[in-house]
Structure 1
Amino acid sequence: MQISKDGRDWRIGTAADVGWIAGHTTPGVSITTAIPPVFDVYATTYQTDDVTAAAYEQALIEDLTTHTPDQPWWLAYLDTGAHDVVFPHAPRVFLYWNWPYVLVEAGPEQALTWRTSGHIRHPHGALPDLFFPADRSWLVSGLWDDTWTCVGGPAPLIRTLQRNPVANARQVQPDEDALPPGLTRE
């Protein structure tokens, strides 16, 4: 299925496009609650109070883009009923605890610009709630009730995120509690 936006057609994803995620995460507090245990390295990242949402999100997307060959990205917007899903009439795919997402094949530019009314982690943010490149070399996921974002991917990507003070990332082990120091669970 395709839906038009910005003068072009965009492919809407199906359950098959996220089948590698669905049913492959583990309930609990570890990073594998949000990210399947298929990556070399894992990290959490969140926007600090002294950084704007736009600066944080731009830094994250720039680091991801640097480590990704030119290809489409899958952008997924969680339908909470309170946050912009960009394509409100598109079919949903279901992940985690049967949460409905709108999944669209697009790219990093759309990841930074499509959402206009904020997301779960920040009311002024634009990022999708879950996104990954077509080659599945990394995955970024922010769960409904978390104020941080989880990332799984290759070691060079995670090291780049860790070195970027605006991205504010820290590496975590797959069985480690994903809660970043200084944050609390809702």
Structure 2
Amino acid sequence: MQVNKDGRDWRVGTAADVSWIAGHTSAGLSISTAIPPVFDAYATTYQTDDVTAAAYEQALIAHLIAHTPDQPWWLAYLDTGAHDVVFPDAPRVLLYWNWPYVLVEAGPEQALTWRTGGHIRHPHGALPDLFFPADRSRLVSALWDDTWTCVGGPTLLIHTLERDPVANARQVRPGEDALPPGLTRE
């Protein structure tokens, strides 16, 4: 199936496109609740109060682009009933605890521009709730009830995110609590 936006057709993803995630995460407080334990390194990142949503999201996407060969990205929008899923009539794929996501193959530009109604982490944010390149070399995921974002990928990407104060990332080990310092769970 395809959906149309910006004058072109975009492929809608299926359960097969996220099968490497579905069933490969574990309940709990660690990074592997959001990210399957298949990457070299992991981090959590969130927007601080002194940084705008646009600056934070642009910094995060810029680093991901720099560390990802040119290819399509899968963008997934969690259907909470309260946040923009971009394509409200598109079929859903189920991830984590059978949460419904709209999954569309697009790219980094669309990751920064398609969503206009905000998301769980920021009312003015545009980022999808989950996204990864076609080669699955990294995964970015924010769970329904978290105000931070989890990242899994190459060690160099994680270290680059850590060095950028706007990206505000902290490396975590697979069994470590993913909660960033200074934040609390709802």
The answer as to 2:147 corresponding to 1:124 is: no
Amino acid at match of 1:5: K
* Whole-angstrom distance in 2 between the partners of 1:11 and 1:141: 20
Per-residue displacement from partner, 1:154-186 (whole Å, max 9, x unpaired)?
001001101111000000000000000000000
Residues 1:145 and 2:158 are matched in the alignment: no
TM-score, normalised relative to structure 1? 1.00
1:104 is matched with: 104
CA displacement at 1:69 relative to structure 2: 0.4
1:43 is the counterpart of 2:39: no
Supply the AA of the counterpart residue of 2:92. Answer: R
Give CA deviations for 1:88-143 in whole Å, capped at 9, x if unaligned.
00000000000000000000000000000100111000000000000000000000
TM-score (norm 2): 1.00
1:7 aligns with 2:10: no
Give, in angstroms, the shift of residue 28 of structure 1: 0.2
Q: What residue number does 1:24 align with?
A: 24
Partners of 1:117 and 1:2 lie apart in 2 by 22
Aligned-pair CA distance for 1:8 = 0.3
C-alpha RMSD over aligned residues: 0.3
Matching of residue 92 in structure 1 with residue 92 in structure 2: yes
> 1: distance between equivalents of 2:157 and 2:180?
19
> How many residues are aligned here?
186
2:135 match: secondary structure: coil
Moved over 6 A (4+): none
Aligned mates of 1:185, 1:31 — CA distance in 2: 14
Determine the C-alpha separation between the residues in 2 that align with 1:110 and 1:42: 24
Give the aligned partner of residue 67 of structure 1. 67
Distance 2:11 2:159 in 1: 32
Structure 2, gaps ≥5 residues long: none
Aligned to 2:184: 184
1:76 and 2:79 correspond: no
